[in-house]
C-alpha cells in the first residue's frame, strides 16, 4: 500500500481535532467541566487519549477553544441568516441575541466557560477560535457605525460577557429578556430587531441539540469509538504520533 500524501494526512489531523472540539462541547454541556475527563472527550471523539495533548496543552484550553468555536459559529450563523442584511443595527441586535441565546439554551456549558476565564492559572487563552469570534464582533461594531472601534469593541465584549455572567449566576440569575432590554436600550436598538424573546427562532427551534454543523465532523468520517485502552486509531497519523511521544 502506498503511503498517504501530506494533504491527506493534514485532512485527517484536521478532522481529528474537529472531533475533539465537538466532543468537548457535548460532554461539558451534558456533565459539567469537573465531571468530564480528557479520556471521556477522547472516547466520545473516537480518538486515542494521547491525541488530546498532541493538539491542546490541557483540558481547560481544549474546552475554551471548543466553546469559542461554538460561540463564533453561532454568531456567524445569526449574522448571515436569511434575510441577509448589512444594516448595522439589525446585525448588532442579532449578535446580542446570539450570545444571550447561548446563555439561555446552554447554561451548563456557558457557566463552566465563564468560570474557566476567571481562573488565574489559566485565564483567557487566545486561540484561532477566539480570534474569529473577535473579528465578527469587531465587524459588527464597525457596521453599527462606530467611530472608535478600538474603544467600542472591548466595551461591547464586556457588556456581552457581563450579561452572560448575570444570566448564569446560581441562585440569582437575571432573566435574559431583561438583560436584552438593557443592552438594546444602551445601543438604541428597536425591540423588534434580531429575534425578540416572544418570536419563533429561525429554523423553528431555540436550541438544536445537534452541534455537528458547527464542526467539520461528518458521521462517515468518525472512526470507531475507542475500546477503552487508549490505543490510537490506526487510520489517524496524528494519533500515532501522539502515542509515540
Percent of the residues in the chain that have a pLDDT greater than 70, as a whole number: 81
Model confidence pLDDT, tens digit, residues 143-155: 999 999 999 999 9
Q: What is the pLDDT of residues 149-202, one digit of tens each?
A: 999 999 999 999 999 999 999 999 999 999 999 999 999 999 999 999 877 666
Residues 199-218, mean pLDDT to the nearest whole number? 67
pTM: 0.80
Please write down the long-range contacts of 82-91, taking CB distance under 8 Å and 24 or more positions apart. Answer: 82/202, 86/143, 87/143, 88/140, 88/143, 88/144, 88/145, 89/144, 89/187, 89/188, 89/189, 89/190, 89/193, 90/193, 90/194, 91/140, 91/143, 91/144
CB of 59 closer than 8 Å to CB of 104 = no
Over residues 69-102, the pLDDT tens digits come to: 999 999 999 999 999 999 999 999 999 999 999 9
Say what the pLDDT of residue 206 is: 54
Angle between helices 88-105 and 59-80 (to 10 degrees): 140
What interhelical angle do 6-31 and 107-117 show, nearest 10?
A: 100
Q: For 103-116, how does the pLDDT look when each residue is reduced to its tens digit (9 = 90+)?
A: 999 999 999 999 88
Q: Cβ neighbours of residue 95 under 8 Å, at least 6 residues apart?
A: 75, 78, 79, 136, 137, 140, 160
Grid cell 460561540 is found at 71
What average pLDDT does this structure show over 45-58? 88
Amino acid at each position: 500500500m502506498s503511503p498517504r500524501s501530506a494533504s491527506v494526512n493534514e485532512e485527517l489531523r484536521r478532522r481529528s481535532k474537529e472531533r475533539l472540539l465537538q466532543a468537548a462541547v457535548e460532554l461539558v454541556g451534558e456533565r459539567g467541566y469537573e465531571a468530564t475527563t480528557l479520556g471521556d472527550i477522547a472516547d466520545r471523539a473516537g480518538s486515542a487519549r494521547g491525541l488530546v495533548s498532541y493538539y491542546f496543552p490541557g483540558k481547560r484550553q481544549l474546552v475554551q477553544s471548543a466553546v469559542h468555536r461554538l460561540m463564533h459559529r453561532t454568531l456567524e450563523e445569526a449574522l448571515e441568516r436569511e434575510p441577509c442584511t448589512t444594516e448595522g443595527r439589525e446585525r448588532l441586535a442579532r449578535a446580542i441575541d446570539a450570545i444571550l441565546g447561548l446563555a439561555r439554551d446552554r447554561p451548563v456549558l456557558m457557566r463552566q466557560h465563564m468560570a474557566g476565564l476567571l481562573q488565574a492559572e489559566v485565564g483567557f487563552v487566545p486561540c484561532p477560535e477566539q480570534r474569529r469570534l473577535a473579528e465578527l464582533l469587531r465587524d459588527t461594531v464597525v457596521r453599527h457605525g462606530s467611530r472608535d472601534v478600538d474603544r467600542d469593541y472591548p466595551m461591547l465584549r464586556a457588556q456581552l460577557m457581563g450579561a452572560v455572567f448575570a444570566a448564569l449566576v446560581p441562585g440569582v440569575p437575571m432573566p435574559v429578556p431583561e438583560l436584552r432590554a438593557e443592552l438594546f436600550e444602551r445601543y438604541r436598538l428597536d425591540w423588534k430587531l434580531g429575534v425578540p424573546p416572544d418570536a419563533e427562532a429561525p429554523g423553528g427551534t431555540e436550541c438544536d441539540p445537534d452541534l455537528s454543523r458547527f464542526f467539520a465532523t461528518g458521521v462517515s468520517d468518525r472512526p470507531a469509538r475507542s475500546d477503552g485502552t487508549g490505543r490510537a486509531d490506526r487510520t489517524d497519523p496524528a494519533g500515532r504520533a501522539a502515542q509515540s511521544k
